[in-house]
Structure 1
Amino acid sequence: MNLNNTTVLGTGILGSQIIFQTAYHGLPVVGYDISDEALAAAAQRLDLLVQRYADFFDGGDRTKAQAARDSIRLSSDLADAVKDADLVIEAVPEALAIKQDTYERLAKVAPAHSVFATNSSTLLPSMIAPHTGRPDKFLALHYANEVWKNNTGEVMGTAQTGEEAYEAVVDFAERTGLVAIRVLKEQPGYVLNSLLVPFLQAASGLLVNGVADAPTIDKTWKIATGAPKGPFEIYDIVGLNTAYNISSMGDETNKKFAQLLKTEYIDKGKLGQATGEGFYKYN
């Protein structure tokens, strides 16, 4: 099983990075989203990634990164987007109902040989597998944000995932510049977010309970541990929509934080680094 032609469903912050990472490493890739408006926003994200990749890999030379950008095709027609797909990577919003509906529609139009991989940050793939129509060819491939430098690819199957599909996704991860992390059993949050999410939730709890403001919490963590970023800087990188979706499924403190995110940030268009403002302002 050789996974070359790739389609990424969802062209948000991380979806766009997955698309660009795949193209930069020489594989054909199509980005799908639900509307031409969403694709226009995706095109802008992809254009900005050209310089990020050029600076990180090529000393500022844009030749290879621009060629990768030029190779990417975008589509708002699901059947068109997946017609040649060996691998479909799903990066739609972190809401179970949305993901389940996406896979039910995908199963009707994708080629029979296509492998499906979810990039869900917190949901177990077994919660989605019955909706895929091919549980033996379904598993999780989880990317970290700023994937070009934070290049882990966590591969996690279900009890129904076939060994051939699992190994093919490990191989795909490695061919697209990732360090493949074999997660040996289903775990909400894989390895990375099992460590990261409790850390971020501890910070949001300090904020909503009035213990300290966001800059103070970030400053404390960075000075005391030598970490390059504090939790609220990480929230801005991840995106406040994602933070909202995850927090709204938690306990009362998490839901209080979700409400804060919605009223003070998301409803005002402050979604994090991608929009130029979240907990902090960005150029």
Structure 2
Amino acid sequence: MKIENVMIAGGGTLGSQIAWQTAFMGFKVVVYDAFDKGIEASKAFHKQYAELFSTSRGVSKEDIERTLGRLSYSTNLAEAVKDADLVSESVPENVEIKISFYQELAKVAPEKTIFTTNSSTTLPSDYAAYTGRPEKFLALHFANGIWDTNIGEVMGHAGTDPEIFERVVQFASEIGMIPIPIHKEQNGYILNSLLVPLLTAAQELFFSGVSDVESIDKTWMITMGTKMGPFGILDKIGMQTAYNVSMLWGTKLGDQKRLDRAAIIKSDFIDKGKMGVSSGEGFYKYPNPKYADPDFLK
């Protein structure tokens, strides 16, 4: 199964990273977003990544230009997917939005196209019936900052064709990821099964007034020897995703604390434009957050 043309659905932070990395590794990539502002945001991200790869990763000007030449953008779903061998979906982490997207995608995608979801908190089986090709549908999940945290978690559902599963494992390797095959559906895969409890506990400590952001992060960074703590991670993930996850699980579990936390994230961060690293401010201010200061842990 040849994969040469890839459509990335969603021009946000992670969708744009996946698009850039895939194009950098030699694939033709179309970024699809339903809104012009999403396309413009993705183009801005790609300009940032071009600068990053040039200044920090030693990539030549020629390679940057070739990568940019493999990228195109569209708000027309049928046009964006017409040649796609594989779709990587990173639309908002909302079940209804994702179902609607797959129903529309199923109407216009070629029969050959493999559909993959990058959903962090829901399962492939939540959407398989809406794809029109459940045997060619599975998850390929990435971590934020994918060229450094380069894992590609591959997780199917009961109806996923084993050959498609193995082909997506291979594709993950082809775009520079370390494939992580997951053999049974698991909410949160491996990464988020480990990470979400940490981030949830950190938010509970802060929002309930037990301690402050810097103290919580310092505790984790010193004891675990990490470069950032949970609130640095939350800024990297982005406030919209943090809000969506709290809303999703608060609603599913009837957990009022999670719903209250989502409301605070919206009022104190999202509504004030503090989206995290992408906007220059979240729990910290960027590009020089306090936790990156050499004296932060002293």
TM-score range for the pair, normalised by the shorter chain length: over 0.9
What code does the residue aligned with 1:191 have?
I
- Shifted more, 244-253 versus 204-213: the winner is 244-253
- Superposition pairs of residues 251-266 of structure 1, within 5 angstroms: 251-266=255-270
Helix, strand or coil at the partner of 1:142:
strand
| Partner of residue 276 from structure 2, selected from 272, 277, 283 | 272
Deviations 1:40-86 (A, max 9, x none): 111101110112223454x2533312320232000000000000000
Q: CA separation in 2, counterparts of 1:203 and 1:35?
A: 34
- 1:252 CA displacement: 2.5
Indicate the residue corresponding to 1:281 in structure 2: 285
Structure 2: 5+ residue stretches without partners: 288-298
- 1:255 CA displacement: 1.8
The answer as to whether partners of 2:231 and 2:283 remain within 8 angstroms in 1 is yes
Helix, strand or coil at the partner of 2:221:
helix
The answer as to whether partners of 2:27 and 2:70 remain within 8 angstroms in 1 is no
Indicate the residue corresponding to 1:178 in structure 2: 177
Q: Percent identity?
A: 49
- 1:113 CA displacement: 0.9
What code does the residue aligned with 1:211 have?
V
Indicate the residue corresponding to 1:48 in structure 2: 48
Indicate the residue corresponding to 2:113 in structure 1: 114
- 1:208 CA displacement: 1.4
- Superposition pairs of residues 159-238 of structure 1, within 5 angstroms: 159-238=158-237
- 1:23 maps onto 2:27 in alignment: no
- Superposition pairs of residues 115-134 of structure 1, within 5 angstroms: 115-134=114-133
- Shifted more, 178-187 versus 66-75: the winner is 66-75
The answer as to whether partners of 2:82 and 2:110 remain within 8 angstroms in 1 is yes
What code does the residue aligned with 2:45 have?
R
The answer as to whether partners of 1:3 and 1:169 remain within 8 angstroms in 2 is no
Q: CA separation in 1, counterparts of 2:5 and 2:163?
A: 17
Helix, strand or coil at the partner of 1:254:
helix
- Superposition pairs of residues 33-182 of structure 1, within 5 angstroms: 33-57=33-57, 59=58, 61-182=60-181
Judging changes above 3 Å, is the alpha-carbon distance between structure 1 residues 56 and 186 closer, same or farther for their aligned structure 2 residues?
farther
Indicate the residue corresponding to 2:14 in structure 1: 14
Q: CA separation in 1, counterparts of 2:226 and 2:157?
A: 34
What code does the residue aligned with 2:283 have?
F
**TM-score, normalization by structure 2:** 0.92
Count of matched residue positions in the alignment of Structure 1 and Structure 2: 282
CA RMSD of the aligned region, Å?
Answer: 1.1
- 1:2 maps onto 2:2 in alignment: yes
